[in-house]
Amino acid sequence: MKIYADHAATTAMSEAAIEAMTRCMREEYGNPSSLYRIGQEAKEMLEKAREEIASVIHAEPREICFTSGGSEADNQAIRSAALAGKKRGKNHIISTAFEHHAVLHTLDQLKAEGFEVTLLDVHENGVIRPEEAEAAIRPETCLVTVMYANNEIGTIQPIREIGEICRKHGVLFHTDAVQAAGPVPIDVQAENIDYLSASAHKFHGPKGVGFLYARKGVPLIPLINGGAQERGKRGGTENLPGIVGMAAALKETAAEREAENARLKELRDRLIAGLKEIPHSALNGDAEKRLPGNVSFCFEGIEGESLLLLLDEKGISASSGSACTSGSLDPSHVLLAIGRVHDVAHGSLRLTLGRENTREDVDYMIAAVKDVVAYLRSFSPVWRDLQSGKTAYIL
């Protein structure tokens, strides 16, 4: 049995994307900046991809800037808004404690450059409260950046409400939608989003390509200086095969979204119900406001890396927020942010379901996780102390 259950890390490429890219690589090698025919054909392909992507998120084509992926888009959006703010004496940014490192590390750099950053509480359920975002806004706030859905625990944030608040206060609003673009229907108009980051490989497109939506009129500076590509906002010849593959993948994902989400939610809830039967375990993040494929758990008395290795032996590809899987001594900042203590955060498991997963996979995974957790607990001194009453259970 081979089960891929790490769709939040990356996804298998869709046939539609592979076909579109193969055709592009075979037939359209022209440079979109060249004026002769094959260059202009490539340009047409590029603009068609831009239109397709824009229409999925209810944007205008000129508001889409192609990047190397989500991290670059995050960096560019935050840097652009911060620089514009600084020029007007505004040096305060609001974000959350459980953003992706592409956001948090950019904010760290800005702090070193004199910015002040407020990180909103994400609470025990992993969902921020819009009223707390509003309360944090000051006259000198130039940007609010809140992820659309969390990459580890899958919780979906009240983006529409935050967008409305930011618009009301005249503050720019960025959302890292790397996990959401694909499974979540996004409408940048209705949700008052000024900047949005997305990455193709999370929705069955190729790696190394993504896009930044930047609303018409918002500040946008290039991180890569060069030619006039992307309206001068991103130098370098466009990754045309990647962009074409991304557009094909997003179009397909959007078309299948409704039916696929219903199917995934059923599988997700079955998996959650099965894993809940393991004593002294807990689901991480809100049970309702979460991505259709995300299951994140903590199991007391065991460590995540050994759990992953044993699941891998059983053919299951999964992920964990344990320190040992990150190469640092601290467990995931996301789990700490929702109030999981270190001892428990080390025993975390993330299973993210996608297109290829079946009910049979889910049942196999429930049985496998139960086995492995029981096995690891059988020789865990932490579990022994919990069982004997020497220490108290946390979960």
Catalytic residue numbers read 324
Minimum CB separation from another protein for residue 37, in Å? 46
If binding is defined by CB under 8 A, does position 322 make contact with another protein? yes
Handedness of CA 258, 316, 10, 301 (dihedral sign): positive
If binding is defined by CB under 8 A, does position 323 make contact with another protein? yes
Q: Pick from 84, 305, 317, 355 the residue near another protein by CB under 8 A.
A: 305
Minimum CB separation from another protein for residue 342, in Å? 4
Name the phi and psi angles at 289, rounded to 5. -85, 65
Q: Is the CB of residue 272 less than 8 Å from the CB of residue 55? A: no
Q: Pick from 331, 351, 354, 395 the residue near another protein by CB under 8 A.
A: 331
Contacting residues for 368 by C-beta, under 8 A, at least 6 apart: 311, 314, 316
If binding is defined by CB under 8 A, does position 75 make contact with another protein? no
Structure tokens at 297: 């758990």
State whether residue 179 is helix, strand or coil. Answer: coil
Minimum CB separation from another protein for residue 385, in Å? 9
Q: Give the C-alpha separation, 41 to 336, whole Å.
A: 50
| Total residues interacting with another protein, rule: CB under 8 A | 25
* C-alpha closest to that of 99 among 148, 158, 147: 147
Stretch in the footprint of another protein (CB under 8 A) among 189-197, 241-249, 317-325, 364-372: 317-325
Minimum CB separation from another protein for residue 329, in Å? 6
Stretch in the footprint of another protein (CB under 8 A) among 10-18, 48-56, 258-266, 339-347: 339-347
If binding is defined by CB under 8 A, does position 306 make contact with another protein? yes
If binding is defined by CB under 8 A, does position 381 make contact with another protein? yes
**DSSP, residue by residue, 280-319:** TEEE-S-SSSB-TTEEEEEETTS-HHHHHHHHHHTTEE-B
> Side-chain half-sphere of 369: how many Cα atoms within 13 Å?
35
Interhelix angle for 359-378 vs 304-313, to 10°? 130
Q: Give the C-alpha separation, 92 to 88, whole Å.
A: 11
If binding is defined by CB under 8 A, does position 329 make contact with another protein? yes
Stretch in the footprint of another protein (CB under 8 A) among 56-64, 207-215, 251-259, 338-346: 338-346
If binding is defined by CB under 8 A, does position 36 make contact with another protein? no
Stretch in the footprint of another protein (CB under 8 A) among 213-221, 284-292, 325-333, 355-363: 325-333
First CA to last CA distance, the chain: 31
Minimum CB separation from another protein for residue 317, in Å? 13
Name the phi and psi angles at 96, rounded to 5. -125, 165
If binding is defined by CB under 8 A, does position 343 make contact with another protein? yes
Closer by beta carbon to another protein, 1 or else 309: 309
If binding is defined by CB under 8 A, does position 164 make contact with another protein? no
Which letter does DSSP use for residue 231 in this model? G
Q: Pick from 379, 388, 389, 392 the residue near another protein by CB under 8 A.
A: 379
If binding is defined by CB under 8 A, does position 301 make contact with another protein? yes
The binding site for another protein (CB under 8 A) comprises: 301-306, 309-310, 313, 322-324, 327, 329, 331, 341-343, 346, 379-384
